A and B are shown apart, each in its own frame.
Chain A
Amino acid sequence: MHELSIAQSLLGIVLQEASRHGVSRVTKVAVKIGALASVVPSSLTFSFDLVKEGTVAAEAVLEIEQVPAMGVCHACAAEMDMSGLVAACPACGSKDIELSSGQELYVDHIEAE
Chain B
Amino acid sequence: MADIEVGRNILEANQSMADQFRQRFAAQGIKVLNLISSPGAGKTSVLEKTLTRLGGRLNCAVIEGDIQTDEDAQRVAACGVPAVQIQTQGACHLDGPMIGEALEALDLEGLELLIIENVGNLVCPVDFDLGEDMKVAVLSVTEGDDKPAKYPALFRAAGVLLVNKIDLLPYIDCDLERIHDTCRTLNPQQKVFDISCRTGEGLKEWVAWLESWVKG
Instruction: Give, as a whole number of angstroms, the nearest-CB distance from B7 to chain A.
Output: 7
**Complex Cα distance A17/B209, Å?**
47
What residues on B are CB-neighbors of A85 within 8 Å?
Answer: 149, 152, 182, 185-186
Contact B153 A38 (CB under 8 A): yes
Q: How many residues of B contact A (CB 8 A)?
A: 31
Contact B1 A111 (CB under 8 A): yes
Interface centre among B5, B91, B127 (most CB of A within 10 A): B127
B2 within 8 A of A: yes
> Given the interface contacts A6-B11, A38-B153, A85-B185, does A109 sit within 8 Å of B6 by beta carbon?
yes
Contact A112 B126 (CB under 8 A): no
What does the 1/0 interface line of A44-72 toward B look like (CB < 8 Å)? 00000000000000000000000000000
Contact B185 A5 (CB under 8 A): no
A95 within 8 A of B: yes
The B-contacting residues of A in range 64-113, CB under 8 angstroms, are 85-87, 95, 99, 105-113
B177 within 8 A of A: no
**Contact-residue size bin, chain A (C-beta under 8 Å from the other chain):** 20 to 34
What residues on B are CB-neighbors of A99 within 8 Å?
Answer: 156
**Complex Cα distance A99/B188, Å?**
13
The A-contacting residues of B in range 92-122, CB under 8 angstroms, are 92-93, 95, 121
Instruction: Give, as a whole number of angstroms, the nearest-CB distance from B74 to chain A.
Output: 27
Instruction: Give, as a whole number of angstroms, the nearest-CB distance from B3 to chain A.
Output: 6
B9 within 8 A of A: yes
B8 within 8 A of A: yes
Contact B4 A106 (CB under 8 A): no
B10 within 8 A of A: yes
> Given the interface contacts A2-B91, A37-B127, A85-B186, does A107 sit within 8 Å of B2 by beta carbon?
no
Contacts A38-B126, A109-B4, A110-B6 aside, 4 further interface pairs with beta carbons under 8 A come to A5-B91, A5-B95, A85-B182, A106-B9
B contacts, CB < 8 Å to A: 1-14, 91-93, 95, 121, 123-124, 126-127, 149, 152-153, 156, 182, 185-186, 188
A contacts, CB < 8 Å to B: 1-2, 5-6, 9-10, 12-13, 17, 21, 23, 27, 31, 36-39, 85-87, 95, 99, 105-113
